[in-house]
A = this chain, B = another copy of it.
Amino acid sequence: MSFIESYRCGVEMVKAGGTLIREHQSGGRLYTLYSGWAFRYKTLSDGRRQILNFLLPGDLVGLQQEFSDAALHGVEAVTDCAFCAFDADGLWSMFREHARLAYGVTWLAARGEGMVDDNLLTAGRRSAIERVAVLLVHLYRRLDRLGLAEGASVDFPINQQHIADALGLSLVHTNKTLRRLSEMGMHEISGGRLRLLNPRALARIAEYYDAIPRPVPLL
């Protein structure tokens, strides 16, 4: 634990709606989300925005900023967020000196990529109603695994624009699809909470299969 501390260079607080990493800003830092909801995104020059994935507590951000030669992504907070920051310049020495930690970083990175893979399948090949169903079930399960579900209901701070941007749909169509699902008795969103009323049917629409969850390494 003490060496984790040595790499940590502090906590970064970001207000709801604020930006942790600006798009095209090449980083130098690695973050772990400690509390709150955030998301990674990319935009085209005319403003079309794609949310790459939502970040929940325990998720890692910023590795690509350090490594990638592909274009970069931004990170924005949905709610007030606390991020643990690590010095990415020290990443190499972390690999040399603390293999366990490095392994954890790689683990989290691979997990993150798996998430984006799923989202790409969704955006590329699912219909609007399937996409929305996937999103609802997926977020619910992630929160549930974090112990943040209260029965069938979870905190749900994102709005329909976020959902549209995550799924590659227009705002209007997202609204109509969401409405359709709730009229089918699938779910209910109100007061910033999501409640799944028929999780099995939703999962069937979403064709959402969970693999065996593994415990997340501490970081």
Contacts of A45 in B (CB 8 A): 207
Decide: B69 and A114 in contact? CB cutoff 8 A. Answer: yes
CB distance from A107 to the nearest CB of B (A): 5
Which B residues are CB-close (under 8 A) to A211? Answer: 26, 68-72
Residues of B within 8 A of A103 (CB): 91-92, 95, 102
A 127-180 contacts with B by CB, 8 A: 167-168
- The answer to the question of A110 belonging to the interface, with a C-beta cut-off of 8 Å to chain B, is yes
A197-210: contact bitstring with B at CB < 8 Å (1 yes, 0 no)?
00000000001011
A82 to chain B minimum Cβ distance, whole angstroms, is 24
Task: Say which residue of B50, B69, B107 sits within 8 Å of A213 (CB atoms).
Answer: B69
Tell me whether B68 and A111 are in contact (CB under 8 A).
yes
- Which residues does chain B contribute within 8 Å of A117, judged by CB atoms? 40, 42, 52, 64, 70, 73, 116
With a cutoff of 8 Å between Cβ atoms, the chain B residues found around residue A96 in the complex are: 99
Residue A20, interface by CB 8 Å? no
Q: Find chain B residues with CB under 8 A from A111 CB.
A: 64, 67-70
- If A95-B102, A117-B116 touch, does A107 touch B67 (CB 8 Å cutoff)? yes
Total A residues in contact with B, Cβ cutoff 8 Å = 56
Select which of B40, B102, B121, B125 is within 8 A of A106 by beta carbon: B102
**Is A218 engaged at the interface, CB distance under 8 Å to the other chain?**
no
The answer on a CB contact under 8 Å between B119 and A49 is no
- Could you tell me which A residues sit within 8 Å of B by CB distance? 26, 40, 42, 44-45, 48-50, 52, 63-64, 66-73, 91-92, 95-96, 99-100, 102-103, 105-107, 109-121, 123-126, 167-168, 207, 209-214
Taking A50-B121, A64-B117, A71-B209 as known contacts, 17 extra A-B pairs with beta carbons closer than 8 A to each other, sorted by chain A number, are A42-B117, A64-B110, A64-B111, A67-B106, A68-B111, A69-B114, A71-B114, A71-B210, A71-B211, A72-B211, A95-B103, A99-B99, A102-B106, A116-B116, A119-B120, A120-B120, A123-B124
